[in-house]
Amino acid sequence: MADRYLNFTGTAPGRFLTRRLGLPQPAPLRRWSAEHPSLEGQLLHFTAGASTYRKELSDLLARTGHPGLTVRGSLSGGGSGRPAAVVVDATAVTGPETLAEVHAALHPVVRTLAASGRVIVLGAPPSADDHHQAAVQQGLEGLVRSLGKEIGGGRTVNLVRITGPSVAPAESTLRFLLSPRSAYVSGQVVEVGAAEGELAIPEDWSQPLAGRTALITGAARGIGEAVAETLVRDGAQVVLLDVPSAEADLAKVAERLGGRALPLDITADDAGERIAEFTGALGGRGGLDALVHNAGITRDRRLANMPAERWSSVIDVNLTSVLRTTDTLLKAGGLHRGGAIVATASIAGIAGNAGQTNYAASKAGIVGLVRSLAPRALAEHGVTVNAVAPGFIETKMTAAVPLFIREAGRRMNSLAQGGLPVDVAETTAWFAGAGSGSVNGQVVRVCGQSLLGA
Ligand code: NAD
């Protein structure tokens, strides 16, 4: 659905009027396109404290293709034009003095950052033994989330925690966050672990899913369709699953994307077995490299007025079927080592929402599933488990929301606009890509840093 307010504020009179009235100022976001696949402009790399990653990170950032400038502390002269991105390595910040170096690095440059630019702070996990380090590393979260709220202009600010001895496993994450693909991801904290065994690196970073097969549930329309399209763009073969009543739409999407359609109600008792059978019989080595649990429904009503079947229909589709098919496919070896499971939560599951006890329980359930299963799935099956948690996304579902509530949902985030299905799809593609094997157990909100659940 068109965001008329965003279009209006893009005109000179619209900007003048809305600024005068103190109304939100959404900036058009730079999303990925074949013509403009990357952010254009210089990348500034600062180091706070004595980071052991300095050289390795500088080499990694150079590989992303941005003309770079590595600076030890804060910038004095040097750097030309408006930078597209600023990366501050704060992994060695252990006390308030080194935390001040993060401020010193960012203070002179945030104002110069190009529209739709990126700020990425690299942190370390807060230590259980050193409360000074823990305090300031946690402090980075407050800094990042606050800067995300004040920076404006379609710019995003995120924190990446490096938990292993090398930054190499963070390459896919840094590439994602430094690209137009992450346009609607802001105010997030992402943890990147150590590589399990040898780190998988895609031959071609523009095709991180080349040679991989992905199944997407709920793919006949909306976010699922966008996920399928984005995974195909990134090189994947796709299997598209949706309810038999959506078969005609599903077939159209499958034909357009060169994928296979699997009409199937995901709540069927044997859905996992049928997926395993269908994908096992695909050509080549068969089986899946990515399983995207996207199908979801809402049946809103306040708890006092909610009959049992309204409760259970939502739990069945959004949670029980995810638990059951995941278990079946992992047990049957239906996912190859190096594969990924991506589930769909929601900010409603994080913040709660009146009238959505069933939906929020199912989506918070996804968060619980991810946190518990991720370490075991990686250790036992070599498969990562992560979730996207969309905020307000412009779909048929949100177009049906009454105008006033819709406008509030759209504007109540740092980017002052709704996201698009492709924004959720881009985050899913990053989780599912061959280079993301060290991103595990993460729940990343694709919500423009929504105020809900913040
Ligand atoms: P949508 O209603 O447009 O699409 C959902 C798809 O899932 C449909 O094609 C539907 O037929 C399919 N589906 C439903 N039940 C199924 C079943 N039993 N078996 C197989 N397929 C089934 O919804 P959407 O807006 O694209 O949302 C996709 C996911 O994102 C959902 O999990 C939703 O909860 C989540 N989400 C959406 C938003 C948003 O703003 N749109 C926000 C947060 C989370």
Q: Whose CA is nearest to atom 12 of ligand 1?
A: 218
pLDDT category of residue 74 using cuts at 50, 70 and 90: low
Ligand 1 atom showing the smallest separation from residue 419 Cα: 40
Q: Is 450 in the pocket of ligand 1 (CB under 6 A)?
A: no
Which pair of tokens denotes residue 96?
A: 């308030």
Instruction: Tell me which residue of 321, 431, 339 sits closest to 387, measured CA to CA.
Output: 431
Q: What is the pLDDT of residue 440?
A: 97
Between CA 428 and CA 412 the distance in angstroms is 23
Domain boundary among 143, 160, 192: 192
454 belongs to a structural domain: no
Same domain, 95 and 177: yes
Q: Is the CB of residue 105 less than 8 Å from the CB of residue 72?
A: no
Q: Is the CB of residue 120 less than 8 Å from the CB of residue 90?
A: no
Q: Which residue in the list 5, 53, 184, 359 is annotated as catalytic?
A: 359
Between CA 419 and CA 425 the distance in angstroms is 11
Between CA 433 and CA 235 the distance in angstroms is 10
Q: What is the pLDDT of residue 73?
A: 66
12 belongs to a structural domain: no
**What crossing angle do the helices spanning 357-381 and 321-331 adopt, rounded to 10°?**
10
Same domain, 181 and 318: no
2 belongs to a structural domain: no
Q: Is 296 in the pocket of ligand 1 (CB under 6 A)?
A: yes
Instruction: Give the distance (Å) from ligand 1 centre to CA of residue 183.
Output: 22
Q: Whose CA is nearest to atom 39 of ligand 1?
A: 393
Between CA 16 and CA 284 the distance in angstroms is 59
123 belongs to a structural domain: yes
401 belongs to a structural domain: yes
Q: Is the CB of residue 192 less than 8 Å from the CB of residue 173?
A: yes
Between CA 20 and CA 381 the distance in angstroms is 57
Same domain, 184 and 224: no
Instruction: Give the distance (Å) from ligand 1 centre to CA of residue 296.
Output: 4
Q: Across-strand partners of 216?
A: 240, 292
Same domain, 187 and 288: no
Q: Is 221 in the pocket of ligand 1 (CB under 6 A)?
A: yes
Q: Is 448 in the pocket of ligand 1 (CB under 6 A)?
A: no
Same domain, 311 and 385: yes
Say if residue 327's pLDDT is above 70: yes
Instruction: Give the distance (Å) from ligand 1 centre to CA of residue 331.
Output: 26
Provide the number of structural domains found in the chain: 2
Same domain, 224 and 298: yes
Q: Is 314 in the pocket of ligand 1 (CB under 6 A)?
A: no
Which pair of tokens denotes residue 282?
A: 């695909």
Task: Write out pLDDT tens, residues 411-438.
Answer: 999 999 999 999 999 999 999 999 999 9
Q: What is the pLDDT of residue 301?
A: 95
Q: Is 452 in the pocket of ligand 1 (CB under 6 A)?
A: no
Domain of residue 328, CATH code: 3.40.50.720
Ligand 1 atom showing the smallest separation from residue 345 Cα: 44
207 belongs to a structural domain: no
- What single string gives the DSSP state of each residue in 116-141? T-EEEEEE-PPPSS-HHHHHHHHHHH
Q: Is 267 in the pocket of ligand 1 (CB under 6 A)?
A: yes
Q: What is the pLDDT of residue 76?
A: 57
Q: What are phi and psi of 426, to 5 degrees?
A: -65, -40
Instruction: Give the distance (Å) from ligand 1 centre to CA of residue 395.
Output: 10
Q: Is 217 in the pocket of ligand 1 (CB under 6 A)?
A: yes
Q: Is the CB of residue 98 less than 8 Å from the CB of residue 136?
A: yes
Q: What is the arithmetic mean of pLDDT over 152-170? A: 96
Task: Write out pLDDT tens, residues 241-274.
Answer: 999 999 999 999 999 999 999 999 999 999 999 9
Q: What is the pLDDT of residue 153?
A: 96
Same domain, 181 and 252: no
Q: Is the CB of residue 227 less than 8 Å from the CB of residue 216?
A: yes
Instruction: Give the distance (Å) from ligand 1 centre to CA of residue 3.
Output: 21
100's enclosing H/E stretch is helix 96-106
451 to 1, 197, 253, 421, 444: CA distances (angstroms): 22, 39, 34, 20, 15
Same domain, 187 and 229: no
Burial 400-419 (b: 16+ CB within 10 A, else e): eeeeeebeebbbbbbbbbbb
Instruction: Give the distance (Å) from ligand 1 centre to CA of residue 360.
Output: 14
Ligand 1 atom showing the smallest separation from residue 295 Cα: 7
- Residue found under tokens 């170096």: 101
Q: Whose CA is nearest to atom 41 of ligand 1?
A: 393
Query: Domain residues for 404?
Result: 213-446
The helix, strand and coil proportions of the chain, stated in percent and rounded to the nearest 5, come to 45, 15, 40
Task: Write out pLDDT tens, residues 280-315.
Answer: 999 888 999 999 999 999 999 999 999 999 999 999
Instruction: Give the distance (Å) from ligand 1 centre to CA of residue 211.
Output: 27
Greatest CA span in the chain, whole angstroms? 66
240 to 113, 226, 263, 434: CA distances (angstroms): 40, 11, 8, 20
Q: What is the pTM of this model?
A: 0.95
What burial class does residue 259 get, using C-beta atoms within 10 Å of its C-beta: 0-12 exposed, 13-18 middle, 19+ buried? Answer: buried
Q: Across-strand partners of 123?
A: 161
Say if residue 26's pLDDT is above 60: yes
Between CA 319 and CA 424 the distance in angstroms is 19
Q: Is 392 in the pocket of ligand 1 (CB under 6 A)?
A: yes
Q: Is the CB of residue 404 less than 8 Å from the CB of residue 7?
A: no
Say if residue 78's pLDDT is above 60: no
Same domain, 402 and 303: yes
Instruction: Tell me which residue of 198, 203, 275, 281 sits closest to 235, measured CA to CA.
Output: 203
205 belongs to a structural domain: no
Instruction: Tell me which residue of 427, 454, 447 sits closest to 352, measured CA to CA.
Output: 454
Q: Is 344 in the pocket of ligand 1 (CB under 6 A)?
A: yes
Which pair of tokens denotes residue 59?
A: 């080499």
Q: Is the CB of residue 299 less than 8 Å from the CB of residue 313?
A: yes
User: Is 53 tagged catalytic?
Assistant: no
Same domain, 171 and 238: no
Between CA 58 and CA 216 the distance in angstroms is 36
Compute the Cα dihedral for 405, 407, 410, 414 and give only its sign.
negative
Q: What is the pLDDT of residue 285?
A: 87
Q: Whose CA is nearest to atom 40 of ligand 1?
A: 393
Same domain, 127 and 236: no
Which pair of tokens denotes residue 339?
A: 């594969």
Instruction: Tell me which residue of 449, 448, 435 sits closest to 192, measured CA to CA.
Output: 435
Q: Is 410 in the pocket of ligand 1 (CB under 6 A)?
A: no
Task: Write out pLDDT tens, residues 144-155.
Answer: 999 999 999 999
Q: Whose CA is nearest to atom 34 of ligand 1?
A: 296
Q: What is the pLDDT of residue 403?
A: 86
Task: Write out pLDDT tens, residues 376-404.
Answer: 999 999 999 999 999 999 998 788 888 88
Q: How many CB atoms lie within 10 A of CB 280?
A: 14
Q: What is the arithmetic mean of pLDDT over 354-375? A: 97
Q: What is the arithmetic mean of pLDDT over 107-136? A: 96
Q: Whose CA is nearest to atom 23 of ligand 1?
A: 222
Q: How far is CA 173 from the centre of its chain?
A: 10
Same domain, 184 and 247: no
Instruction: Tell me which residue of 258, 239, 293 sits closest to 431, measured CA to CA.
Output: 293
Cα torsion through 307, 308, 310, 314, rounded to 10: 150
288 belongs to a structural domain: yes
